Structure 1
Amino acid sequence: MRNAMESRLTQAIDDTTAASSEAATVSVTIVVVALVVLIALSLIIGRSVSGSLQQIISSLRNMASGEGDLTSRIEYTGKDELRDLVDQFNRFVEKLHKSFATIQQDIGELNGVATHLGSTSRTNLERISQQAQAISSTRNSVEELVKSVEEVAGFASSASDQTQDASKFATTGQQKVEGNIQTIQ
């Protein structure tokens, strides 16, 4: 019986060892297959991401080589996380494009206003020059008028003096005539 038990125990140990060995072989095989699958998936995903990034980088190079043309966009056909990145970047460029268009329009309007202000300033300077000439002419006329008034005042004063002299002569003449009349009488 002991032999039978030993034999069964030996058989059980051999079966367990064989099962363990088979399980280890299966486990190693599963790990190797899993590693091969993971490496293959990594290569596929890496190439996919690398290809997507190369497509985006190529579009960015084309955009950067232009003369600041904000109408071009990144072209990307993928449907992954990079798609969202590309869409957000394209929206950003669109907003920049609109902002620059608004700035260009404002600059055009400011140029128009500056041109109008320059024209208005030239017109105002011409008018100021004309007014200065008119004021100078008026001042000269007023000075001539003052001289004429002074001359007339001088003539009037002289005439007044002559009138007073004539009045004195007339009074003296009248007194002499009256004196002569009285002498005759």
Structure 2
Amino acid sequence: MEGLPGLLSGHSQIIGCSIGEMDQAMSTKRQVCLGVALLALSFNAASDGQCPDGFTQAPGPMTGVINCVPLPAANDPGNDAGGPRWQSRWGAISFDYGASNVGVGASVAATSKRRAKSEALAECRAKGGKGCKVNLVYDNQCAVVIAAVGYSRSHAGPTVEITAERGMKMCEEAGFNDCQVYYKACSLPEQIQ
């Protein structure tokens, strides 16, 4: 406790307690001041973001939360740059361009472009499509299909909202009033390490 007044001297004005008050006999005010001072010091230490040796700071799930994670081993062969690794995810949309015109086939979060195209075509054919063709292939983003009577287009973009807004505008500019979002999905990259 003898070192506490020196440690708290920089914070005594902030918390409203003088060093003289801290040296008085154990009173309720002293306990409150001590508690507030220790709380202020703990927030000060936490806000510095210091992690123990062998650990590094990582972002937390919420703003202001600090996580300490172990430093990657320098000789770990599975560790390229020490950070997370991401893998692209693919999506595809196919339309039935045949006489049956039964609709749309789609693939989401496929591990390759080829797989996304294959899955979209298979879904279109499973719905009875005879003239299915891939209309859109995208990776690490979102896609929508905008439809109206006599109109259907697929679009890709950074979010469903942005992509749908752009697609709806194009549909309306083409002279259609019954435009609607027929399909929407995202194929975003996945963290693999």
Shorter-chain TM-score tier: under 0.3
Normalized against structure 2, the TM-score is what? 0.19
Normalized against structure 1, the TM-score is what? 0.20
Of the two, which has the highest radius of gyration?
Answer: 1
Structure holding more strand per residue: 2
Structure holding more helix per residue: 1
Between the two structures, name the one with larger relative contact order (CA 8 Å, sep ≥ 6).
2
